[in-house]
């Protein structure tokens, strides 16, 4: 059965690249345009992994992670940040909020796919 990935990014071009890459590999993909928008998919449905940007309007990536970790059903779901932010302090903040991993933009599709397979193992 195909794994379901929730992508959250305010950049349409990044959403398209990630969506295209994942669908080509057989993943089912859900797309949110920011943290607030992504919450509509987190209604108990079967989502296997969340990939989110950090800086977004309305609800940013850290806010989204904190909300997800408050939901019993998604308490242990893998969450990867896909961001240009590479500061150690920000990474620590993300880890404390409950992030599983961190992928730096710009990225190559192979790197994204390998990070996803690693956390879904």
Partner 1 sequence: MKDKIRNIFIRETSSDLALIQEELKINVKDMIPDGLVEKIFRAMHTIKGSGPMFGFKHLSEVALPVEKVFKELYSRESQVSRQLIEKTSDIINLLQKALMECDAHTPNSNEERALIEYFNNVCPFNAGSDD
Residues 19-58 that bind partner 1 (CB under 8 A): 20, 55, 57
Whole-number minimum distance, CB 43 to partner 1, in Å?
28
Question: Is-contact 120 79, C-beta < 8 A?
Answer: no
Q: Which is nearer to partner 1, 11 or 117 (CB)?
A: 11
Matching residue, tokens 């943290």: 35
**Rounded to an integer, what distance in angstroms lies between the CA atom of residue 77 and that of residue 67?**
12
**91 part of the interface to partner 1, by CB under 8 A:** no
Matching residue, tokens 């690693």: 118
Beta strands in the chain (DSSP E): 4-8, 28-32, 49-52, 79-83, 101-104
Q: Which span sits near partner 1 by CB under 8 A: 16-24, 39-47, 65-73, 91-99?
A: 16-24
Whole-number minimum distance, CB 88 to partner 1, in Å?
15
Task: Compute φ and ψ for 6, nearest 5 degrees.
Answer: -100, 120
**10 part of the interface to partner 1, by CB under 8 A:** yes
Tokens of 74: 């998604």
Count of residues touching partner 1 (by CB under 8 A): 15
Residue selected from 84, 96, 114, 117 as contacting partner 1 according to rule CB under 8 A = 84
Residue selected from 13, 26, 44, 88 as contacting partner 1 according to rule CB under 8 A = 13
Site residues (CB under 8 A) for partner 1? 10-14, 16-17, 20, 55, 57, 83-84, 105-107
């Amino acid at each position: 059965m195909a794994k379901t990935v929730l992508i959250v990014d305010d950049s349409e071009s990044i959403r398209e690249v990630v969506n295209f890459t994942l669908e080509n590999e057989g993943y089912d993909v859900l797309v949110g345009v920011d943290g607030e928008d992504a919450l509509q998919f987190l209604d108990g449905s079967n989502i296997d992994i969340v990939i989110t940007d950090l800086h977004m309007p309305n609800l940013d990536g850290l806010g989204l992670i904190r909300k997800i970790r408050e939901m019993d059903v998604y308490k242990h779901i893998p969450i990867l940040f896909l961001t240009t932010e590479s500061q150690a302090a920000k990474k620590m903040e993300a880890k404390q909020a409950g992030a599983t991993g961190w992928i730096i933009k710009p990225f190559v599709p192979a790197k994204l796919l390998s990070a996803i397979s690693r956390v879904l193992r």
